[in-house]
Amino acid sequence: MNKIIAEVSIIPLGAGTSISWLVAEAVKVLQESGLKYQLTSMGTIIEGPWGEVMDTIQEMHEKVFQSGALRVSTSLKIDDRRDGKEVSMERKVKAVEEKLS
């Protein structure tokens, strides 16, 4: 099973300037998925098997519509490594921090 790291940003449009409540609805879907994730100020990083991550992102996107948004912009970046090395959010950060020392 191929594990990926994805960064997703789901932005409800036309819902006013304070949209955190709609973003929270999307994050609730992610919490229920059981996938490992890290919420950031500009998006969310998700780690897990390709199919589960992609299905969850689709559910998050749809949940924002179900919660009242009439338009949603979702941006996605995927790190798909297949050289046999470990893939994890922590490992990526640690690799950069080690080079800063």
Top-level class of domain 3-100: alpha beta
Kind of pairing, strands 44-49 and 36-39?
antiparallel
Q: pLDDT 10s digit of each residue in the chain, 101 long?
A: 689 999 999 999 877 777 889 999 999 999 999 999 999 999 999 999 999 999 999 999 999 999 999 999 999 999 998 888 878 889 888 999 999 98
Whether 76 contacts 56, CB under 8 Å: no
| Integer Cα distance of 85 and 58 in angstroms | 27
- The pTM assigned to this predicted structure is 0.89
